[in-house]
Amino acid sequence: MDEETETRPPLSAALTGSELRCWSWRKGELVSLAQQVGVSTEGSKPELTARLVAALDAAAQVRAEV
């Protein structure tokens, strides 16, 4: 049986919050994404991740409603 190997997707505003949480990101990468989506870049990595998850999930919901 062959195992499928998943590769980490590019970090972008097109991800959902759950997709963001599935992978490990450097804080600098998260700061760049935060700047792109317009959320605060301040705080610890977990705080930043939580804000990004909320913003990405909200954006995904808006895209789904369109």
Burial 31-61 (b: 16+ CB within 10 A, else e): bebbeeeebeeeeeeeebbebbbebbbebbe
Confidence of residue 4 (pLDDT cuts 50, 70, 90): low
Domain coverage including residue 60: 17-65
Q: What digits encode the pLDDT tens for the residues 14-63?
A: 999 999 999 999 999 999 999 999 999 999 999 999 999 999 999 988 88
Counted domains in the chain: 1
pLDDT of res. 12: 95
pLDDT of res. 1: 46
**DSSP symbols for 14-58:** TS-HHHHHTS---HHHHHHHHHHHT----S-HHHHHHHHHHHHHH
